[in-house]
Amino acid sequence: MATNRADTLDPALLRPGRLDRKIEFPLPDRRQKRLIFTTITSKMNLSDEVDLEDYIARPDKISGADINAICQEAGMQAVRENRYVVLSKDFEKGYKNNIKKGDQELDFYK
């Protein structure tokens, strides 16, 4: 069983012999972010102006799913504008749409 909200599980499920293991996946570090971005964008037609290091270096705490959403939104933005090339402004829009400043508190996971 997988959940993003372990705090909402019934305590009866957490007794020994049932769901007695908790495996956490921490947020990616800079090297892992780079690997995720490059893997996801490897099949995208990126403009030469796109600098993924700009998004990798940002201090926002983002997950692999967030990175995927950013790249997907950037690609969709290019499609909406009838372009085959993804521009830097598409990534910026994808980043702004998916990453909310100040909404990164994940205390309920602890």
**Residue 12 included in any domain:** no
CATH number (domain holding residue 42) = 1.10.8.60
Residue 14 inside a domain? The answer is: no
In a domain? residue 89: yes
* pLDDT tens track for 13-43: 878 888 777 788 889 999 999 999 999 999 9
- Say if 95 falls within a structural domain: yes
Per the structure, the count of domains in the chain is: 1
Mark 77-93 as b/e (b = at least 16 C-beta within 10 Å).
Answer: bbeeeeeeebbbebbbb
| pLDDT one-digit tens code per residue, 51-64 | 999 999 999 999 99
Q: Does a structural domain hold residue 110? A: no
Range of the domain at 63: 27-102
